[in-house]
Each structure stands twice: as structure tokens, then as C-alpha cells.
Amino acid sequence: MIRTLQNAGPALKIILGALLVIICASMAITLIPGGLGSSLGIGAPPAGVVATVGDQQVTVLEVQRTARAMIRQQFPKGGPQASMLLPYFASQAAEQLINEKALIAEAHRMGLRASDDELRDELQHGQLGAMLFPDGKFIGQEQYQNFVQSNDLTVPQFEGLEKDFILVRKLRALVASSALVGDSDVREEFISRNTKVKFEYAVITQADILKGLHPTDEELKAYYDRNKASYNNSIPEKRQIKYVLIDSSKVGAAASVTDKDLQAYYDQNRERYRVPEQVKVAHILIKTPLPAPGEKEDEKAIADARAKAESVLKEVKSGEDFAKLAQKNSDDPGSAKNGGELGWIGRGRTVPEFEKAAFSLGKGQTSDLIKSSYGFHIIRVEDKQDAHLKSLAEVKSEIEEKVKQQKGAQATESAANALLSQSRTEGFDKAASGKGLTPITTDYFTKTDNLPGLGTNPQFTDAVFSEASKAPPDLVQAGGGYVVFQLLGIKPQATPTFEEIRAKVESQFKNERASFLLQQKTQELSDRAKSGHDLKKAAKELGASVKTSDLVTPEGQVPDIGAMSNASAIFALKEGEISAPISAAGNGVVAQVLERQAPTDQDFAAKKDQVRQTLLEAKQNDLFGLFVTNLRKDMEKSKRLKVNQEEMKSLTRQSSQEGL
């Protein structure tokens, strides 16, 4: 029943920021139509802007924030592989954000809108419903306010995100509505998915071929010379530093908070602790049907709903248990199972008719029938609370923790700045020693290496690798505090000699050669088996092992082949037919079908609706994907969409080169 939200907490920010990304991804529109954008020139997006879509902008900060959220979702524990994938995710994030804004612009052009009623329904029953209405019950005004105050989204921003999500969903439904799936398509797909085969198969492994490869130095040197361009600058730049970590948790632990500090913080943030007027309510809703666009209300249905509501109201007035009546009769599924309980609500959270009645009733009172756009409500006020300001005593523990954190952060920053200043005047070692600190001196390291106390920290390593040679000590906020560091040396990118890279060259040579020989030998196996129509004999001649599968579907697994999707060609074979060479799970395979088992008509009857729905969704996704591709092309052609290639290159540039 809430109408709007004021903010979204930290957990919500990721969800809200990714709502449209999620829906776009689910619709298979993470496309790159024609590459990443248009050429630069007159009217190109300015620095800091990745793309302009109509009058909207996709900024570098938006892309970076979205990319990091995607990485956190994929790699919740972080790690070096997560930071190394940032360029890839930045590319994906940029495309999704551009598509998102293009779709929203097109939805507006087509006259699609998202109403407040639709927004309200989305908040209660959509992806955020579990947060705002756990077990179908509103979390309550006070808890809700505490929940939403810890972020920087405004009301318009939040409602805009939700309404954009609704708009894209409407646009997809409109575009995908023309998708049709014929009966013949359903049967063909069902048979394809559910036909089982049993087969013999001969396997040649690349591992066995590798064992027989013993390249000479001459062969390896020749391979190195042929591929020398790929080794250019493959040894990444390395740097050596000494550094000291000023840990905020240690410095902050010594911070003390006085009553004067608490009073000052309270006085500066009084509005945060102001509680509005609110009522705790329960209700019983008897719904009335919404008329279709352009049609009149169904007067009979409304009269029937009124009659039912009046009957329930009589039972309430006669002293029947309100909660039981709500569970039995209410059409609000979220609150009915909780006896009609909605919890605490403030003004502006419900439709006007409901609000007016709820705030006019006294504690313990029950309303007469209240008509709203949802239907007929019977409202009971369980408690009331006047608007008031929480006292300092009520919020002291909450404030004390925040003030302690602030003072700790200030003390940490001051200590770091003092150390930096002294390091630049007195020398790094002397300044650290004077503070009772022991600097850490590293070996030469790359951007992706772990550093003691810091792990892999892109923010810190970016700062280190941007320092000029012989620069004075510098300061970076990282690793739960601040790091004061001094650059000691730089080893630039380099191209390794053959001797330095011999092991890697040998591994690459052998893998490339083994792959070629595996392909060649598997082809020979297939040719011999087909020529003599004898797979076992051909396998014996070439030293390949022969195995027999169970009856398996296209979604099954087979040893040495893995998922049968790797060997889908087997399902096209007739009984007794021998396959062409198959590459699966790093092995070469040749198969001969022993038995085919088609699904029955009874199986088809049981699963045809499920298959039809799957095909329909796939076709809808294809239609919408094509729509997005064409929309992007049209917008680029008409200059309504412009991409800043320089910013894209900067975002997607590999942050470090892989070590040897």
C-alpha cells in the first residue's frame, strides 16, 4: 500500500542500479551491434561521458559502478581474477547501460508510461517486495526510514529507476507479442530433446599424444622466431616500493567520544531523528475489478463486492475476530495471511482515501467501508504515534558509533598526512621510525601481485604505477586506512629472450602440435572405420580405446566426452552409422550408433506445453534482441546515439599484462 519510497539502502542500491541490467541480460540484449559505437567527430560526447542517448548520458562513473557491481555478483570473494576482468565487465556494463537508455527513450517515444499504481504494485510484489514486505507484511515506517536513510538516492531517482524497469518490461511485452510457435515446431523440438541413443565410441586423448612429443631446441627456437611478435613486451612492467600502512581500525580504536561530541552531532543531524505522524493499521480488502482501457466499470461486480464487504463489516462490528475475518475474506494476499496487518504507515504511503480514514480514526477504532481504486477497505487502527523528535538519549548508542568512526577516520587521515609530510622532509625511514613504524620493502611486483597487508588492491597499485621515477613519497587511501609509500625502482615492460621463455615456448609448441596431430589422427580413425565399417578394428590399429555409452539424451553426460552438447552430431546418425571426427573435452572421438530410442506420444502429451513455452520464450528473446539491434542502428544513424570511442578504449583497456 505504500505509494513512494524516499531512498534505497546500500543493499538496494546494487539491486536498483542493476534492475534494468538484469532485465536486459535476461532478454539476451547484451549485444554489440556493429561494434562499440560511432566515430568521434563534431558533436561527439565530451570527456567523462561514454555515450549520449538522446538527451541522456552514460557516464564513465556509471559504467565503472555497474561493472564493479557485476564483478561483485560474479566474484563475491574478490581475488586477482576479479580485478583482471574489469575491462571485460566494463565493456558489458557500457553496452547494457546504453541499451537500457535506448529502450527507455523508445518506450517514451511510443507513448508507453508507468503509472503510480503500477509503481506501487511493483514495490510490493516485484523484486524488492521481499525487502519491503517480508512475509507479505510492510516492514513498518520507522524501520523503513532507518533502512532507506543510508544512501544517496533521491525520491525521483528511485521512482525513476522503478518506472524505467516497468517501461522496459512493457516494451518487451509489446515487441515479443508477435512471437508464435507452431505445433510442428513443438514436436520437432521435443523429439530432438528426448531422443536417446546408445553408441560405441573410440577415444584418442591429447594427453597421450603429448607424451610422445619431444621437440628439439632447433624446433623450439624456430617456433619462438615465428611467434616472436606475440611475445613482445609480454614481461609486464614491475615496480619496487617501500610502504607503511596506517590502519584505521588501530588508530580509530584510540579515539574517544565526549558528551559534547554527541550533542554536536545530534544538533547537526536533528532532521534525521524526526519521526513523522504514523498509525499502525490492519485492513480487510474486498477488491473491485479494474475496467479495461476505454471501457466502463462493471457495476454489477462493484455491487457484489460492496455487498460482500458490508457483510464482513457487520461481522466485525458484532465483535468477530478481525484477524480471522481478514485471513478468510481479504483480497490483499500480502496482509491477509497476517490477519490484515500492514504495520506502521506514515502519510503519503497509501492511496488518499485509505490515508484519510486511517489518520482520522482513534486508537482501537474500526472504519466503515472505505472505497478506493483497489476496492472496499475495512480499516482498524491498532496504535497511533504523533510526530516527534527522538531525544539524544534514545539515539545515543547509534550516534556514539558514528562519531567514533568519524573521529577515527579523521585521526587516521591526520596521522597519514603527518607521516607523508615528515617523509618528504626528513626521509621515509627516519619519519616511519619516529612514529614507531617499520616500512615494508617489496621485491619487484606487477599490478596483480599480492602485497603484505594489502593483498591485490587495484586502487593502490594504480597509484604506484602512475608515479614518476624518483618521485617523493606519496599517500593513497587503501587497505582499510592509508598507505604512505616511496617508489624505489622501475623495471619497464620487456620482451623475453628464448632462454627466459623456453618452458613456455615448449608448452605452447607441444600443445599446438598435439592439437594438430589429434585432429589428424581422429580423422584417420573415422576414415578407417567408415572404410571397413568396423570401428573396433580401426581403433585397435590406431591404439584408441573403445567404450560403450548408456542410452543418453542430448542433455546427458558420457565419460571422455562430457556433456553430449559437445557431440550433438551423434544424434543425427542412423543406427550403425559412424560419425565424422568429434572434438570433445580435449579428446578426439569417433562414434557408431548402436540403438536409437524415440520418445512416445504419451511423453509428448505430458511435456508439449513445457516445450512450447520454452520455444516461445526463446523466440520472444530473439525478437526483442533483433529489435534492440535495429533500434541501436537507427539511433546511431540518426545521431541520437553517439559513443565516445576514446572513453570506451580507456575503460576496456587491459589494466595489466599477464605474467609469464
pLDDT value at position 144? Answer: 56
Assigned fold of 277-386: Chitinase A; domain 3 (3.10.50)
Does residue 417 contact residue 397 with C-beta atoms inside 8 Å? no
Strand partners, 284: 378
pLDDT digit string, tens, across residues 543-557: 999 999 999 999 999
β-strand partners of 241:
487
pLDDT 10s digits, 297-351: 788 889 999 999 999 999 999 999 999 999 999 998 878 888 999 888 888 778 8
Q: What is the DSSP letter of 3?
A: -
**Burial tier of 592 (Cβ tally within 10 Å: 0-12, 13-18, 19+):** buried
pTM: 0.53
Q: What confidence tens digit (pLDDT) does each residue in 506-539 have?
A: 999 999 999 999 999 999 999 999 999 999 999 9
Domain boundaries, the chain: 10-180+620-652, 196-232+497-597, 238-248+397-491, 277-386
Separation in Å, CA 131 to CA 115, 138, 147, 276, 498: 22, 9, 10, 22, 59
Q: How far is CA 313 from CA 59, 365, 471, in A?
A: 56, 13, 80
Cβ proximity of 233 and 657 under 8 Å:
yes
Whether the CB-CB separation of 553 and 191 falls below 8 Å is answered with no
Confidence of residue 45 (pLDDT cuts 50, 70, 90): confident
| Topology classification of domain 238-248+397-491 | Chitinase A; domain 3 (3.10.50)
Q: In angstroms, rounded to a whole number, what is the distance separating the alpha carbons of residues 333 and 392?
A: 40
CATH architecture for segment(s) 10-180+620-652: Orthogonal Bundle (1.10)
Which position has the grid cell 603484505?
A: 452
Q: Which whole-number Å values give the CA distances from 452 to 245, 456, 485, 643, 656, in the listed order?
A: 10, 9, 13, 41, 20
Q: Which residue has the cell 597519514?
A: 416
C-alpha count within 13 angstroms, C-beta hemisphere, residue 263: 3
* Cα–Cα nearest to 506, from 183, 138, 213, 209: 213
Comparing 10-180+620-652 with 238-248+397-491, is the CATH topology the same?
Answer: no
8 Å CB contact between 199 and 558: no
- The model's pLDDT over 346-378, given as tens digits with 9 standing for 90+, comes to 887 788 899 999 999 999 999 999 998 889 999
Query: E strands along 214-305, which residues?
Result: 238-247, 274-275, 278-287
